[in-house]
């Protein structure tokens, strides 16, 4: 029995993530449905493709061989299909662009206006989430183009570095309170403690002997900037957000640098509309 294209595509997703629950979530199907699909595929091939573990799965030797063949087959088909479509595709249609709201502030304004003006038949939809989730949705084709921070490499994605963003400590240029002064014993820090960038800066502060008394946690970088501007403390912020609020960098403070990258699925690289979107983004952001 020849396996279905759907089961093969599901197999690739499971093989990439090595976790049935995560794969089912990315594919927008239930885990039982995905498990049945993998069982059908194993029956069709005639041998186990996965070794089940408590926290996920790993590929058997047969699974690894099948994955290599499926990727080659899928890439050939995607190229053939995309090239056939590109010959008749005009620069039109609906395209979904995704990124975190803080990344959107330093990217979308630089290219979106010119893009919409130049191509009136393009319909652009914006979606915002964490960089990890945006990447997952590009992988699962829920989003066409992602602009994300520090993406993890994936065999199905084309990833291009656009720029770097520096995260550091920022303060109000008109500070008058002790809670705004890192040299006092009452300093209040404001930021998102769950971000790796924040954790890195806090660790560097500790090594440098830079102390603070309290931490105000918020997931909104924009709110952090506004709170700092109003004298609520010292913020852990990206430079473009801090500067938009006329904040000042804390002298000799630790920092962390991130890469902002553009990513999209390999098989979509020949679609005319997506080509123009990618070109507009690269042209605008690489010039900053």
Q: Stretch 139-149: mean pLDDT, rounded?
A: 93
Location of structure tokens 């053939």: 80
| pLDDT value at 255 more than 70 | yes
For 67, other C-beta atoms within 10 Å of its C-beta total: 19
Q: What is the mean pLDDT of the chain?
A: 90
Read off the pLDDT of each residue in 111-137 and give the average, rounded to a whole number.
Answer: 92
At residue 288, the pLDDT reads: 60
Distance CA(191)–CA(219), nearest Å, equals: 7
Give tens-digit pLDDT for 197-217: 899 999 999 999 999 999 999
Residue 89, pLDDT score? 66
pLDDT digits (tens, 9 = 90+) for 72-120: 888 888 777 776 665 456 788 889 999 988 888 878 998 999 999 999 9
> Domains in the chain, start-ordered, CATH in brackets?
5-86 (1.10.10.10), 93-149+264-285 (3.40.190.10), 165-258 (3.40.190.10)
What pairs with residue 263 in β-bridges?
146, 159
Three-class SS string for 173-228? CCCCCHHHCCCCCCCEEEECCCCHHHHHHHHHHHHHCCCCCEEEECCCHHHHHHHH
At CA 278, angle to CA 162 and CA 137, rounded to 5?
85
Residue 52: strand, helix, or coil: strand
Q: Element (H or E) spanning 90, and its range?
A: none
**Contacts with 271 (C-beta within 8 Å, 6 or more apart), sequence order:** 82, 85, 86, 89
pTM, two decimal places: 0.62
């Amino acid at each position: 029995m020849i396996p279905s294209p759907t089961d093969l595509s599901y197999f690739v997703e499971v093989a990439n993530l090595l976790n049935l629950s995560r794969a089912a979530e990315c594919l927008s199907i239930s885990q039982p449905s995905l498990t049945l699909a993998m069982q059908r595929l194993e029956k069709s091939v005639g041998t186990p493709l996965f070794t089940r573990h408590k926290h996920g799965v790993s590929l058997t030797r047969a699974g690894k061989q099948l994955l290599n063949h499926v990727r080659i087959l899928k890439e050939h088909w995607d190229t053939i299909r995309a090239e056939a479509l590109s010959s008749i595709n005009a620069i039109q249609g609906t395209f979904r662009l995704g990124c975190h709201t803080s990344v959107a502030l330093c990217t979308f304004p630089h290219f979106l206006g010119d893009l919409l003006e130049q191509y009136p038949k393009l319909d652009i939809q914006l979606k915002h989430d964490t960089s990890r989730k945006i990447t997952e949705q590009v992988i699962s084709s829920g989003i066409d183009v992602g602009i994300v921070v520090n993406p993890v490499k994936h065999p199905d994605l084309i990833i291009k570095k656009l720029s770097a963003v520096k995260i550091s400590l920022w303060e109000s240029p008109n500070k008058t309170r002790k809670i705004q002064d890192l040299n006092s014993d009452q300093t209040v820090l404001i930021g998102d403690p769950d971000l790796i960038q924040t954790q890195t800066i806090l660790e560097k502060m500790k090594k440098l002997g830079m102390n603070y008394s309290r931490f105000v946690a918020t997931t909104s970088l924009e709110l952090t900037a506004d709170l700092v501007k109003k004298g609520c403390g010292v913020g852990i912020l990206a430079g473009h957000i801090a500067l938009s609020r006329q904040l000042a960098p804390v002298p000799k403070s630790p920092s962390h640098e991130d890469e902002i990258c553009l990513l999209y699925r390999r098989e979509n690289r020949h679609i005319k509309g997506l080509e123009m979107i990618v070109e507009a983004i690269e042209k605008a952001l690489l010039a900053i």
